[in-house]
Structure 1
Amino acid sequence: MNVRMARLGDVCEVNPRAPRDIADDTVVSFLPMSGVSEGGFVSIEELRTYKDVKKGYTYFERGDVLVAKITPCFENGKAALADKISSQLGFGSTEFHVVRPSPGVDAKYVFYLLWNDKFRAVAEKGMTGSAGQKRVPADLLKRLEIPLPPLDEQKRIAAILDKADLLRQKRRQAITLLDSLTQSIFQEMFGDVEAGYPTVKLAEVTHRITDGVHQKPNYTDNGTPFISVKDITTGRLIFEKCKFISQDDHQKYTKRCKPEKGDILYTKVGATYGRPALIDTEIEFSIYVSVALIKPDRKRIRPKFLNALMATDLVKSQANRCIKGIGVPDLHLDQIQGFRVPLPPLAKQVEFEAIVDSLELNSRLNDSSLQSLDVGFASLQHRAFSGQL
C-alpha cells in the first residue's frame, strides 16, 4: 500500500497558543510531568483555575497529544493523548510539547506515531542542550516526516494498536501488583522501621557508595550495556533500551566503579532521583554519573532488604531534604552515605529475602509474557506505519 508522507507541522499544530479570552475563574485540567505515564496515558489530573496557571505553564486542550521534551522523560516514553481530561482546557509542565491534529488527522494515530521507539531514536539524535537538560526542539517535531493514510485507515490502525496495548497494560498491572506486594510485606514484617530498630548511617553498613563515569562516553551500536537513570526508574534494571559502550571503555570505567550482582543502583540526578533497583543479573555493564552504586555489607544488611528499604518514604524523605534550589535535582554521594537507615536483626532480613524470592519467581513469569507482548506491539507499530498492516 502506497502511503503519502507529510510533515507533522503541515498536518498538526505544534505548541498552539492559548486563547486570550479565558476568564480567570475558568476551571482547567492541570497535568504535572508526573501526571503523564511512561505507559502512554494520563495518570494524575488536578483541577485548577486559569488564574493559577496562566503564567509559567503549557497550554493544551482535550484531544491534544502531549510529548515530554526533556531528558530522561522523553527517552522514557512519557507521552499521552489528553482525550479524557475533565476540562476542555488544560495546562501542564513547560517540559511538554503539544501536538494538535488538524481535521482529517486522527489524534490517536498521531499519538502512536510519536509514542514509539523509532520516533524516539530519531528525536534523541536531534536533542539540544547540556547533559541532564537536553530537549527535543519544536522544529524537529514540525519537520518530522510521517506516513499519512486516509482518515479511515488511520482510525483502523489506531484501533488495532489500542487492543494490543490493552493486553500490555493488563500484564503491567499484574507486575505492579506483585511489586507493591513486596513493599506491603516489608511494612508488615518491619512496621515503623525507624522507631523499632537501631539506626546507622548507610555508609556504616556498605563497603562502598560511588557513582558512574562523569564524562560522556563514546557510544557504540553494540557492546557492553551502559546504564543511566532512564534504565532503572521503574525500580528494576532494564536493558532493553540502554545504550552501549566498547569493552575497552567498560574495563576502564569499572576500575573505579564495578556493578555486581547483589549491589543496589540508586538514581541521584534528575526528576526521578531517589529510586533504587537491585542488580539481579550477572550481565556486565557500566553506569553513568546520574546513578549511584551501593555495595552492601551482606554480613550486616541483606541486598533485598536494603533495596526495599531504599524505596520507603523514610529514605525518600531524607533524599528530598537534600535537594535544594530550582536547578536539576542532584544528590551528592556524601549525602547518600549519610542517610540514616534502621538495622533489624540479620535473621529477620533473611526471612524477608526468602519471601521476596518467591514473589520474584511469579514476577519473572509475568515479565517473560510482557516481553513477548512488547515485541509483538513493536512489530505491529512497524507494520502499521510502513503500510503493511
Structure 2
Amino acid sequence: MQYITAPIIDHVDKVESWNPKSIGSDAFQYIDLSSVDKEMKQVIPDSVPRLQGQDAPSRARYIVRKGDVLVSTVRPNLNGVAVINEEMDGATASTGYCVLRPNNTSLDSQYLFHWVQTPAFVEKMVKQATGANYPAVSDKIIKKSRIPLPSFDEQKRIAATLDKAYSLRRNRLQAMQLADQLLCAAFLDMYGDPVTNPKGWDVQRMGDVIDFKGGSQPPKSTFVNEPRDGYVRLIQIRDFKSDRYPTYIPAELAKRQFDVDDVMIARYGPPVFQILRGLSGSYNVALMKAIPKGGITKDFIFHLLRLPAYQNRVIAASERTAGQTGVNLKLLNNFDVPLPPVEAQKKICLTLSRLEKLTSEMQSFTEDALDLFNGLSQKAFSGLL
C-alpha cells in the first residue's frame, strides 16, 4: 500500500520563541548544536548547560516541549535529530534547529522522529543544502518537505515497531562506546597521564614530532557520485561514519592523499577533533593528516591524540571559523608529549591491537543494527510493514 504524502508544515504546531536575556541572572537550559549525539539521535543532558539569561547566545530562542522533534539545519548529511523528552521539556533550543511540534492528532511524534532519520529525508535535505564549506538548509525547506501519512493509529503502530529496532541500535552503539572507552583506558594505563608523566618518558613538543597537514578543497562542480577511470575518492568527515554519500574527484585535483593506516583529524565540528582512520583517498579541508616526523609511530599517534588530556583542551579552546568550531593548531603544536622509545610504543600498540579487534567487531554489530533499522524504515514508510 502506498501512503499519501503531505507537507510536514500542515501537521505541526507553532513553536514559541523568546529572548533569554529578559530573565537577567536567572538560569535556563540551552540545547546547542553540540548537545545532540548524532549517532544516538538524542539530547545528551551533560551537554546541555545551564546559562544565565544575560549570557545567552543570540541563537538561543526556541522553547521546546516534550515530543518536539529537533532537526539540525546545519550539515544535514550528519542528521543531527532528536526527540525532546520530559527532562528537556521547557529548555531553549538553538535556531540552528528546526523545531517540529507534531499536532498529535494527524502526526505522531515518534513517527515523525523516525521519518527524519530515513535516507530518503536526509538525501533530500543534502540536495537542497546551500553553502560549500558550511552546508545548511532552512526551516522552510524542512517544513515544506513531504512525509508519508497513513492514519494516526497506523503511524503509532509503525512507530512502536521502529522504536524496538531503534532501541537495539542504541544499545549496540552504547556497547561500542564502552569498548572504545576501554581501549582509551588501557592505553592510559600503559602510557600514563601525559600531564603528570608518571612513567618519566622524555618530553617533546608535539609539533616537533608530528606534522599536521591540512587537506585541499576542489570545486564542487567537479564532484561525481560514482567511481570513474581517472577519478579518486574524496574523503570527508562524514565518510568515516557512513558510506552512503561517496564523492569522487579528478585525480589531478587530488592534491592531498592518505592511506588506511594514516591518522586523520576532523578540524571542524561539532564534534571537533575527532581522531579517525581506516579509509584512503584524497581529503578535503575539513580534515588534516597527522604525519610522524620521527621517533613516533602512526599507531601511537592515533591513541595519543584520543586521550582526554588533549581532547578536552583542544575542544575547550576551539575557535569559531565561518560558523564552525575549529582546531587551534598553535595550541596543538605546543602541547608537551611524554614520548616512550619507539620499541615501547610498538609494544603498547601491539597489546591494544587485541582490544581494537573487539571494537571492530562491535562496529560491525552496530552497522548490522543500523542496516536492520534502515530496512524496516524503508518498508514502514512504503506501506510494506
Report the counterpart of residue 18 of structure 1 in structure 2.
17
Report the counterpart of residue 278 of structure 2 in structure 1.
280
Report the counterpart of residue 371 of structure 1 in structure 2.
367
Matched to 1:293, the amino acid is: K
Note if 1:296 corresponds to 2:292: yes
Report the counterpart of residue 65 of structure 2 in structure 1.
61
Whether contact under 8 Å (2:67, 2:101) holds in the other structure is yes
| Residues 352 and 241 of structure 1, relative CA distance in 2, 3 Å threshold | farther
Note if 1:185 corresponds to 2:189: no
Matched to 2:61, the amino acid is: T
Matched to 2:258, the amino acid is: P
Whether contact under 8 Å (2:235, 2:282) holds in the other structure is yes
Identical columns (%): 24
User: Offset at 1:76?
Assistant: 1.5
User: Offset at 1:166?
Assistant: 1.0
SS of 1:6's equivalent?
A: strand
CA distance in 1, matches of 2:158, 2:114: 9
Whether contact under 8 Å (1:319, 1:336) holds in the other structure is no
User: Offset at 1:360?
Assistant: 1.6
Q: TM-score, normalised by structure 2?
A: 0.86
Note if 1:102 corresponds to 2:103: yes
Report the counterpart of residue 117 of structure 2 in structure 1.
115
CA distance in 1, matches of 2:285, 2:50: 37
User: Offset at 1:343?
Assistant: 1.1
User: Offset at 1:142?
Assistant: 2.2
CA distance in 2, matches of 1:11, 1:271: 30
User: Offset at 1:148?
Assistant: 0.7
Note if 1:259 corresponds to 2:267: no
Deviations 1:155-192 (A, max 9, x none): 01011111011111111111111110111112211222
Note if 1:384 corresponds to 2:385: no
Report the counterpart of residue 202 of structure 1 in structure 2.
206
Report the counterpart of residue 214 of structure 1 in structure 2.
217
| Residues 126 and 318 of structure 1, relative CA distance in 2, 3 Å threshold | closer
Report the counterpart of residue 234 of structure 1 in structure 2.
none
CA distance in 2, matches of 1:332, 1:180: 25
CA distance in 1, matches of 2:202, 2:355: 28
User: Offset at 1:106?
Assistant: 0.4
Whether contact under 8 Å (2:215, 2:284) holds in the other structure is yes
Gaps in structure 1 of 5+ consecutive residues: 232-236
Note if 1:226 corresponds to 2:230: no
Report the counterpart of residue 174 of structure 1 in structure 2.
175
SS of 1:75's equivalent?
A: helix
Gaps in structure 2 of 5+ consecutive residues: none
CA distance in 1, matches of 2:28, 2:329: 41
CA distance in 2, matches of 1:333, 1:42: 30
Matched to 2:278, the amino acid is: D
Match of 1:311 among 300, 306, 312: 306
Matched to 1:120, the amino acid is: V
| Residues 62 and 333 of structure 1, relative CA distance in 2, 3 Å threshold | same
Matched to 1:107, the amino acid is: S
Whether contact under 8 Å (1:66, 1:99) holds in the other structure is yes
CA distance in 2, matches of 1:54, 1:102: 29
Root mean square deviation of aligned Cα: 2.9
Matched to 1:263, the amino acid is: D
Report the counterpart of residue 244 of structure 1 in structure 2.
247
Note if 1:83 corresponds to 2:59: no
| Residues 46 and 195 of structure 1, relative CA distance in 2, 3 Å threshold | closer
Whether contact under 8 Å (1:219, 1:243) holds in the other structure is no
Report the counterpart of residue 271 of structure 1 in structure 2.
270
Q: What is the number of residues matched between the two proteins?
A: 370
